[in-house]
A and B are shown apart, each in its own frame.
Chain A
């Protein structure tokens, strides 16, 4: 017959028994900590995917909020248990938030921990960082080659977009000092480049924004207006891009208003339709504008 368990029974306090209850406790802590680790990683993934979903629906503010949450969870996970997946998610979020140096480091660490594709992404982010620094030092030709290469061969979308923006801005610098023929040649080349990009990324608001800007260098205000409307409708990644795009829309309005009344009637109808949809206070005052 087995002895009844009794709290007063000294057998219960022998070293072996103490060890075994400590072991159970430690195992429990370990299981809980592993569970909370994987929970952080899972949360990071869920937030990142939610961010992508919002981005696809052009809800930029919500997308950014999800990316911030994903970043926090990925950082938590890395503190507890660094892994290739955690660094990969961290790097992806950082590219979305344009924290290039951090993203490069995260992809490099993900690659070291065995994530193959992270190696290529790390190189792309690193090339972009190098191009930025070349440009800052006035070595424009080298920077332009790198931007162009990223635009043509890059796989990581945020890097490709950023490289395209920098490439265009560099080509447009000093354009006003060139003669008419040279200016038109540059603009035509840039329009062709962007149209090629839009074949792959037709729903990307940023490329429509860029095309709208380039058209206005050639005095094509109707085309510029249409591309800016597309950019606004498809969504832009930041408030300042949205505001700059709105300023472009207003600029096109000022220029197109000056053409003949027959031509302007159709445009004004379209213009009023859009500004009503966007809740602008009047033709030249978007909802965010005070003055």
Chain B
């Protein structure tokens, strides 16, 4: 895929979203990544998927898991195992359970929107910072989207971005490729 075309597309997308979002909004990258991933997976509708993000805090999945499931989550990922070696060694399930509630949607279920909100911390393996910052950062992101959603032309604008992604031939890329293109563009901002 032509790099210039992609960069131009991201630039145009940022321009569209900035009309709806407050200055310095943190959700531009997460919104585009979520649109691109759901588009890639040919999910039904970008609107349902983005709106569905709100449901992450009220999931219909069972959030209560057995202790062994939680331990397994931390032990079978090398970076997590490293970051939580003390808690794992002492079987501090109280702490592990609290951190699991935040990290499982990001690293286990790989929600693209949440993941993109915490890319720097995920890449540096700073999982405890994610847990500490999670609530305020997610609340801020949802507030930004809520304010944009109040404008009737917000969803049609996202629809145009989604169509733009499809026209670029987005479906021929893998999720990892989308991620790396977008991260590279965000770094250059």
Contact = CB atoms under 8 A, between A and B. Distances in A.
A4 B65 CA distance: 89
A219 B69 CA distance: 10
A241 B61 contact: yes
Given A173-B64, A241-B60, A241-B61, A291 B43 contact: no
Given A65-B44, A288-B41, A288-B110, A98 B64 contact: no
Nearest to B64: A172
A176 B175 contact: no
Given A175-B64, A176-B66, A291-B107, A68 B76 contact: no
Q: How large is the interface on B (under 10, 10 to 19, 20 to 34, 35 or more residues)?
A: 35 or more
A109 interface: no
B61 A240 contact: yes
Contacts of A173: 64
Contacts of A291: 77, 107, 110
Given A169-B62, A172-B64, A290-B175, A64 B93 contact: no
A288 B66 CA distance: 24
B19 interface: no
Contacts of B49: 239
A156 interface: no
A82 interface: no
A251 interface: yes
B109 A244 contact: yes
A183 to B, nearest CB: 10
Interface string A177-216: 0000000000000000000000000000000001001001
Q: For chain A, which range describes its interface: under 10, 10 to 19, 20 to 34, or 35 or more residues? A: 35 or more
A64 B44 contact: yes
A238 B38 CA distance: 12
A133 to B, nearest CB: 12
A135 B107 CA distance: 27
A62 B76 CA distance: 34
A277 interface: no
A289 interface: yes
Contacts of B176: 290
21 contacts: A63-B44, A97-B48, A168-B62, A169-B63, A169-B64, A210-B62, A213-B65, A216-B69, A237-B60, A238-B60, A239-B41, A239-B43, A239-B49, A240-B56, A240-B109, A241-B60, A244-B61, A288-B41, A289-B110, A290-B110, A290-B176
Given A162-B60, A165-B60, 10 more contacts: A64-B45, A168-B62, A176-B93, A213-B65, A216-B66, A216-B69, A217-B66, A241-B61, A243-B108, A243-B110
